[in-house]
């Protein structure tokens, strides 16, 4: 199966992470998307799309700070059906390197992220 449309969504997502762009996150995520992870106390964090975007926008930068160079990579894309896929990416957000597992769905001819599971480790 062709991954080109999924790669476009993933690149939009990775750019949104680097730029702290709510607009690009809205483009990459489905309206019903959820983001899952855990906080410092190891408690479950579950945010809907808009709560996640508010968090992203709170860290707004123009992406040009040399202290936070862009680092991201698409590690894998696996189709789980004709209209569903799972991608694994690494992305640096400020001083944290995240590994994200992104579930994608194709609805009305458009791929978008429907869920994100993240884990981050501090950089240096």
Residue 91 has pLDDT above 90, yes or no: yes
The mean pLDDT value for 3-29 works out to 97
Predicted structure pTM score: 0.92
E-assigned strands of the chain?
29-38, 44-48, 72-79, 84-93, 96-107, 110-122
- Distance of alpha carbon 77 from the chain centroid: 14
User: What domains can you pick out in the chain, each with its CATH number?
Assistant: 4-122 (3.10.450.50)
What's the confidence (pLDDT) of residue 60? 66
pLDDT tier, 41 (very low <50, low <70, confident <90, very high otherwise): confident
The rounded distance, in Å, linking the Cα atoms of 69 and 121 is 16
pLDDT in tens, 48-67: 999 999 999 987 655 556 66
Per the document, the length of the chain is 124
What pLDDT sits at residue 25?
97
Average pLDDT rounded to a whole number, residues 19-48: 94
């Amino acid at each position: 199966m062709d991954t080109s449309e999924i790669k476009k969504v993933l690149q939009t997502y990775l750019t949104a992470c680097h730029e702290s762009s709510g607009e690009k996150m809205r483009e990459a995520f489905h309206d019903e998307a959820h983001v899952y992870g855990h906080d410092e106390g190891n408690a479950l964090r579950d945010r809907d799309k808009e709560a996640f975007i508010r968090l992203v926008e709170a860290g707004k930068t123009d992406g040009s700070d040399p202290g936070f160079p862009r680092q991201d990579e698409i590690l894998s894309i696996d189709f789980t059906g004709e209209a569903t896929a799972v991608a694994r990416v690494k992305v640096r957000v400020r001083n944290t390197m995240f590994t994200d597992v992104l579930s994608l769905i194709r609805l009305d001819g458009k791929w978008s992220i429907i869920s994100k599971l993240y884990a981050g480790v501090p950089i240096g």
